[in-house]
Amino acid sequence: MKTAVWISITVVALIPSVSTAQDESHLNDLQAAGEAGIGQTTIGGKWYINFRIGDVDGDKVSRFGLDRGYIIIKHQLTSRLSGRITPDISMDREGDGEGDLEVRLKYLFLDFKFDDLWLFTEPHVEFGLAHRPWLDYEEHINHYRVQGTMYLERNGIFNSGDYGIGLFSLLGGSMDDGYRARVSDNYPGRYGSLAVGIYNGGGYHGIERNTNKTFEGRLSLRPLPDYLPGLQFSYHGVYGAGNDVDGTDWTVNLLYASWESEYLVVSGQRYWGAGNFKATDLDANGSALRQNGYSFFGELRLPQHHLSLIGRYDHFDDTPSAEGGEAQRFIGGVAYHLKNQSKVVVDYDAYDRDGVAGVSQKLFKLSMEFSF
């Protein structure tokens, strides 16, 4: 009887301590999950609003407009698995709905993180309507997408997202905190980064018209991270078919060099290839046109005044074996920086194609990028 009483007393005494231990364990689990961001949903946004005045193809232009409006929603399901959906608001410029603002998806993908392996740091895979390897990288060196699209996208070679699967990774660890705080926290691999993927090829707003897939990849190398940390060399390649029923050849070769520092950013690129992702650059026989070109970009930063001076020159030739295909673009402007990459940009954008009347543009633009 006494033994039973003592057992009862002991059990009653232990219940609070067991409960406390379980509570502490549960709290520790919740704290760990919170630190990893598990269960958290974040909402951000980015939009580009502008006013432009000037001359386009011989017609006078004076208008306010919205170039893009993005809503960026992310959710961390587990420590390794997250998802993102990004609606894209843009103006319909053709058909019965011309002038309407329409909503379509820019990104909708699952993102799975892996453990570091050898040289591969923070590797992860995107599956769904995902990033292509190139444009997100370039747009984090040239931060002026608000002014207009990057060189190859503006010339119709490809866009930024597509249906498919892509592997992304930094190389050899990460740059130190000082560099990431003063210069750039984007793609901060100590020895560079890479991205490879397989995609439909038609882009995020194209209906797939064949069964071919495109193989796309980027390799960026930072050769001297201790001595010239801002210097990187990149190669981007695409091999596959344009988005038509015939599966017209489409190839891209791009060499890119960039230098980033606290006060100066410069980059240059050389492109050669055939066709484009829409399969619209064709000769009279329906074959993909050979084409080439180059582009230079520079930004002089004056952080004490929140200002930057920017300049860009594009040269593109979609018929290098014949006359009449060369086009040139010059962009020059000044930017005033706000918070979270928000900025106001005033620029002059001049474009002409072999000086042919009716294929030219001279615009003054006031643009606002709002990011949160």
d(CA 122, CA 101): 38
CA neighbours within 13 Å on the CB side: how many for 182? Answer: 12
pLDDT at 65: 93
**pLDDT for the residue 34:** 60
The pLDDT of residue 22 is: 42
289 DSSP 8-state letter = P
What percent of the chain has pLDDT above 90? 77
SS3 155: coil
Q: What's the chain's length in residues?
A: 372
Q: Count the helices and strands in the chain (H runs, E runs).
A: 4, 16
318 vs 333: CA distance, rounded Å: 27
Give the Cα separation of 170 and 62 in Å (integer).
Answer: 44
**Confidence (pLDDT) at 35:** 58
pLDDT at 10: 38
Q: What is the pLDDT of residue 58?
A: 87
C-alpha angle 134/138/142, rounded to 5°? 165
pLDDT in tens, 185-200: 999 999 999 999 999 9
- Rg of the chain in Å (alpha carbons): 26
Half-sphere CA count of 368, side-chain side, radius 13 A:
7
Sign of CA dihedral 20, 24, 27, 29: negative
- Cβ neighbors of 283 (< 8 A, separation 6 or more) are 289
42, 27 Cβ separation under 8 angstroms: no
For the chain, the average pLDDT equals 90
The phi, psi pair for 259, rounded to 5°, reads -135, 125
Segment 301-346, tens digit of pLDDT:
999 999 999 999 999 998 876 666 799 999 999 999 999 999 999 9
pLDDT score for 91: 79
Q: Supply the pLDDT for residue 206.
A: 87
Is the confidence at residue 355, as pLDDT, over 80?
Answer: no
pTM: 0.89
- Give 316's contacts (C-beta < 8 A, 6+ positions apart): 151, 155, 271, 291, 293, 326, 327, 328
Distance CA(215)–CA(205), nearest Å, equals 19
CB 206 within 8 A of CB 277: yes
The burial class, CB within 10 Å (0-12 / 13-18 / 19+), for 292 is middle
For 38-69, the pLDDT digits (tens) are 999 999 999 999 999 999 988 999 999 999 89
DSSP 37-51: TTT-EEEEEEEEEEE
pLDDT over 70, % of the chain:
88
Find where tokens 């484009």 sit.
Answer: 276
Cα 22 to Cα 35, 38, 92, 93, 206, distances in angstroms = 20, 21, 58, 61, 53
DSSP 8-state class, residue 358: T
Average pLDDT, integer, range 257-271: 98
Residues paired with 297 in a beta bridge = 267, 312
For the stretch 122-145, pLDDT in tens is: 999 999 999 999 999 999 999 999
Highest mean pLDDT among 11-25, 27-41, 91-105: 91-105
For residue 105, how many C-alpha atoms fall within 13 Å in the half-sphere facing its CB?
Answer: 12
Q: Return the pLDDT at 357.
A: 63
Question: Helix (H, G, I), strand (E, B), or coil: what is residue 181?
Answer: helix
SS3 at position 204:
coil
Q: How far apart are CA 14 and CA 208, in angstroms?
A: 65
**Any residues with CB less than 8 A from the CB of 209 and at least 6 apart, and which?**
202, 243, 244, 245
